[in-house]
Structure 1
Amino acid sequence: MSGGSTAGVRSYQRIFSPERRIHQVEGRPLPVPGGVPLRWLGWMLGTLVAVLAVGSGSLFVPAAAAVAAGAGGLAIGDRTAGLLAATAAAAGTLILGIFLGALDWPFRLVVLPMAVATAATQATPDGRRPERFALSWAGLRLAPSRRSLGRGLPSAGPRRGTDTRIWIAPDARGFRLRHARVTGPGSVGFVEPVAVRRRLRGGNLVVREPGLFTRRSRLRHRVVLKPGQTLEVRP
């Protein structure tokens, strides 16, 4: 541009996404310069159907809106976000139905759908279409600020106690003995020395945690088993 001034390009969507328009119907040109966009007709028909459904006074519409909003909030955030979205959708649908019922039919069925369609096809809040901007805005507000493994976490701050139960599974690197029975041949290793005792019958071995009076000759870090010999671990 001349004069050293610059202008930022907010979006290239209008360049790379051509808009389909209707210029004539059955050979007769429409009295609209540039034609009527198909998106405008879609928004107008959708708004008209929504106005008729919300203004009907049926409780099915708020319930369906609450279910849809709750499912979306649950998918984006957690249960709290889903409950908040469902409550807001149900209350908003009821209030909107009361407001639409107070309007005259020309404004409700003609002026309002045309105004919504015009705003939806012309407005670009951040360079994107209004529906994409609305979905991003709602997702940002409903999604938790902290997540782990796809689940929402409480906000950072002081610790709060919960009644959550955590299931753990011991492994071979633990420092406590677990009930086990191993049949040879093989070799069994232990992290800490254990007391090994041979049974009188069969020659099988029994492993226990060492006591105060356990002789050092019975302490082992590794036990070698012969074929068919059994080692039983008793905590």
Structure 2
Amino acid sequence: MGMTGNLTGLAAADLIQLNCVDQKIARLQIKHENQNAEIFFSGGQIVHAVSGAQKGEEVVYQVLGWNEGDFSLDNDIKSSETTIQRSWPSLLLEGARRLDENELTQTLVKIDHEPESKEIKMAQKFEEILTELAGEVTGFRGSFLVGIDGINLASKFIGDLDPELASAQMAMLLKLVSGSTDKLGAGNLEDNLTTTEKAYILMRFLPGKQYFLGISAERKSGNLGNMRLMSKLYTERLAKAMPH
């Protein structure tokens, strides 16, 4: 059974995430103005995308920029070809990066070139706050300031890690948990703790729930009380550093 709707109520990125998490074979058709696109899913990944004569990743990036249009989703429709090998979190991150780059370019055209933009100053402030946080958390492994869309604003971590991919995965998990608590009528989600064999991963929303702070600590040496206290204090600091 499929579904239909419009991009005003459900963004293209959310549609893609939901279908990949669902891990079903499906075809997503989207109509935007005079353009049509088809995206095919299989095994939790995007395997093919086509729009007119264009095929592959570029079609996905194009669709991610569409804010209006109608869509229909049909299950059990297989793609006749495979034109995409890249993982879906990587595709969404690259698409978001391109959108942000386009928005920044348009903004820079409108303003005088300053020695240091507000965006750079803000990013530096976030980095400074996360660096301070690293010294406060027992068994610290990493911290991330992330938009609910999965875009990494700042990070501080120890060892080899892809902060962009980690941010996208944490955002997806937090959105799923938040959606589940809403359906259960359990009230607003304040934080989410994931415990693994080696680590604690704590995520806490900033006020407004458009951003969240993720903190990871070693399970052997980490302290949950310390993590929860620091997450509360530092989400408040990060919120104050946000532009208003």
TM-score (norm 2): 0.21
| Structure with larger Rg | 1
TM-score (norm 1): 0.22
